Amino acid sequence: MSQQVTNVDKGTITSPKGFQAGATFVGMKSFAEDKYDLGLLYSANPCTAAGTFTLNEVRSFSVRVTEDNVRKGNMRAVVANSGVANAVVGDQGRKDALEVARLAAQQLGLQPDQLGVLSTGLIGVELPMAVIRAGIPKIKLTGAGGRQFARAIMTTDTAPKETAVAYQSGGRTVTIGGVAKGSGMIHPNMATMLAVLTTDALVDAAFLRGALKRSVDRSFNMISVDGDTSTNDTALLLANGAAGGPAVAAGSPEAALFQEGLDEVCMYLAKAIVRDGEGASKIFEVRIEGARNEAEARKAARTITDSNLVRTAVHGNDPNWGRIVAALGRSGAHVEESKLSLYINGVCIMEGGLPIPFFKDAVVQQMRQPEVSFRVSLGLGDGAATAWGCNLSEAYVTFNSAYTT
């Protein structure tokens, strides 16, 4: 982080000015101890908004309604539920997502198409509309309610994931906040992952879309928990302008600072999701350098973080570099074996395509850290990328073998 972007203490989505949130428990989430399952986020001012959505061909109607509403350009609030994904339930899913938007809009004095609708949980189960109807009016919005909202979107997460950063610009303080949830089905192309980002910056809508895409590509799209991608993934960003000042736009003085802040928030949340992956106890970073181009670097980094053999090696603190090289070789990135170098937590394991006789016990010790880093240099060009994954543990298998039964 540069010195210009700083962390906000206990930051969340209501840290930026002009946002309020709250949550309640209506009883649709049975598998988490935390007792919020329906949340609202509201901006006092009109917003510009941007979103990125799952690429899964099977999509929750909540995603479709939200995507439509982002496109309409008038979004100012979000209603989110956990426990039920509102996916693969036929046309009832469309009716329910629209009704949820309508109910929330009524409560907030907005139009239904000003709402984003987020759902996460079991597939193939209809939203329990009776309890949602009764629950929405019970939600109290407050300026500290981001914390409740963060808990209301948790499913198998063991902890809420939220943060905020701030920077100064033209004498004003601009804040960017975010909450997210994991934890299973997390994969590069936006997994069962929900993220809501807020800022009091005034941001040009086109720039906002580009900024979100760039940040998501560097963060949420570079993490892998189990290689799956869900029907519901959504990242939403609302900018309400409450901090005042001229609009942040492409080429404006504040553009780079805003992007940096947004990157920080997204990267923090993405890594928090990996760290809290189902059954995970450690995170590993894969840094690829010297690829022919960035696209190949991204492919290589993601293939390595996604490999079950690499992930079990990380679990066992095993510097089994052969598995890293094998994953690299099948990633689609061009590789010249004689130019390859590989470092584990900074220790050179392989250089010029040849294994270095390293002191294994020392590297095993390095790998016992809760954060492990692999750096691979391909020696071919300027392409670089970083991805994050987690160890594959017996606990992951146990947990996912007994999810609904």
Catalytic (active-site) positions: 192
* Span near a copy of itself by CB under 8 A; candidates 29-37, 54-62, 158-166, 255-263: 54-62
For tokens 């130019």, the residue is 339
Asked if residue 372 binds a copy of itself (CB under 8 A), the reply is no
Give Cα separations from 388 to 70, 170, 223, 271, 289 (angstroms).
29, 36, 5, 7, 15
Nearest to 155 by CA among 193, 129, 197: 193
- Binding of residue 293 to a copy of itself (CB under 8 A): no
Instruction: Select the residue interacting with a copy of itself from 6, 173, 189, 293 (CB under 8 A).
Output: 189
Which residue of 182, 184, 261, 277 would you call a contact of a copy of itself, by CB under 8 A?
A: 184
* Both structure tokens of 249: 């736009």
Pairwise CA distance, residues 171 & 299, whole Å: 42
Tokens of 151: 């808990």
Torsion of CA 25, 29, 35, 41, to 10 degrees: -60
Decide: is 89 part of the binding site for a copy of itself (CB under 8 A). yes
Closest distance to a copy of itself from the beta carbon of 346 (Å): 20
Helix (H) or strand (E) run with residue 380 in it? none
CB of 28 to a copy of itself, least distance (A): 16
User: Smallest distance from the beta carbon of 60 to a copy of itself, in angstroms?
Assistant: 10
Look at the chain and count its residues.
Answer: 405
Nearer to a copy of itself, 198 or 345 (CB): 345
- Work out which of 210, 316, 379, 381 binds a copy of itself, going by CB under 8 A: 316
- State the minimum distance, in angstroms, from the CB of residue 276 to a copy of itself: 17
Q: Does 371 bind a copy of itself (CB under 8 A)?
A: no
Nearest partner of 86 among 61, 69, 64, judged by Cα: 61
Q: Which residues contact 232 (CB under 8 A, 6 or more apart)?
A: 54, 59, 60, 62, 63, 85, 86, 87, 118, 119, 120, 192, 194
Determine the Cα–Cα distance for residues 10 and 365; give it in Å rounded to an integer.
33
In the list 159, 170, 206, 228, the residue contacting a copy of itself (rule: CB under 8 A) is: 228
Q: What's the DSSP call for residue 373?
A: E
* Residue placing its CB nearer to a copy of itself in the complex, 243 or 367: 367
Nearest distance in Å: CB 370, a copy of itself: 16
Q: Does 338 bind a copy of itself (CB under 8 A)?
A: yes
Name the residues that contact a copy of itself, by CB under 8 A: 55-59, 85, 87-90, 122-124, 184-185, 187, 189, 226-231, 306-309, 312-313, 315-318, 320-323, 325-330, 333-335, 337-338, 350, 352-355, 360, 364, 392-394, 396-398, 400-405
